[in-house]
């Protein structure tokens, strides 16, 4: 079920929203095989109505299952937005269109979470990558490319 706010519940009081949103509902559309969103998003939000707009503030957290791009090790990466805010106007050019009495927060949450996903997930910042096999001899790098060019007789 999407994350929605009932506008009638906001009349005269603030609304507290806490819970989890399944990853299927967020539909991140990840095409990166190094990042998978398989755990639910945890939210703790407070919504209030302000002069023909809705202000939503709170915390969002999601644990991603990632694979390091250097060493291919699997690890968990936490994406946290401790001070998430969404201002949703109910009038004007950029107004949010309610579905009946409800405003769907899911697209706004999805967009802000996607912006926080790692572009190149690393298990640790100084990851050395895959270990070299002892069976394969290291390539010789005794001579530089310039040394080879210097051999040319022009």
Q: What is the pLDDT of residue 108?
A: 92
Task: Report residues of the chain scoring pLDDT below 50.
Answer: none
The Cα 142–Cα 60 span in angstroms is: 53
- What confidence score (pLDDT) does residue 51 get? 83
d(CA 85, CA 107): 13
pLDDT in the model for residue 44? 95
Cα–Cα distance, 49 to 9 (Å, whole number): 10
Quote the radius of gyration of the chain (alpha carbons, Å). 25
For β-strands 53-67 and 102-104, DSSP reports them as: unpaired
CA distances from 1 to 23, 25, 27, 106, 125 (A): 11, 7, 12, 10, 37
* 76-90 pLDDT tens trace: 999 999 999 999 998
For 111, counting Cβ atoms within 10 Å of its Cβ (0-12 exposed, 13-18 middle, 19+ buried), the class is exposed
- Predicted confidence at residue 134, as pLDDT, reads 55
Q: What is the pTM of this model?
A: 0.76
pLDDT at 141: 55
Domain ranges of the chain: 4-150
């Amino acid at each position: 079920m999407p994350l929605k706010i009932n506008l009638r519940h906001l009349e005269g009081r603030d609304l507290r929203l806490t819970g989890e949103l399944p990853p299927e509902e967020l539909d991140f559309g990840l095409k990166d095989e190094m990042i998978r969103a398989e755990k639910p998003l945890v939210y703790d939000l407070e919504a209030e109505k302000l002069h023909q707009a809705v202000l939503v503030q709170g915390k969002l957290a999601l644990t991603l299952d990632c694979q390091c791009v250097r060493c291919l090790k699997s690890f968990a990466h936490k994406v946290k937005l401790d001070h998430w805010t969404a201002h949703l106007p109910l009038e004007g050019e950029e107004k949010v269109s309610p579905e009946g009495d409800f405003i769907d927060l899911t697209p706004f949450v999805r967009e802000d979470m996607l912006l926080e996903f790692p572009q190149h997930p690393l298990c640790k910042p100084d990851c050395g990558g895959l270990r070299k096999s002892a069976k394969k001899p290291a390539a010789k790098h005794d001579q530089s490319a310039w040394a080879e060019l210097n051999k040319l007789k022009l």
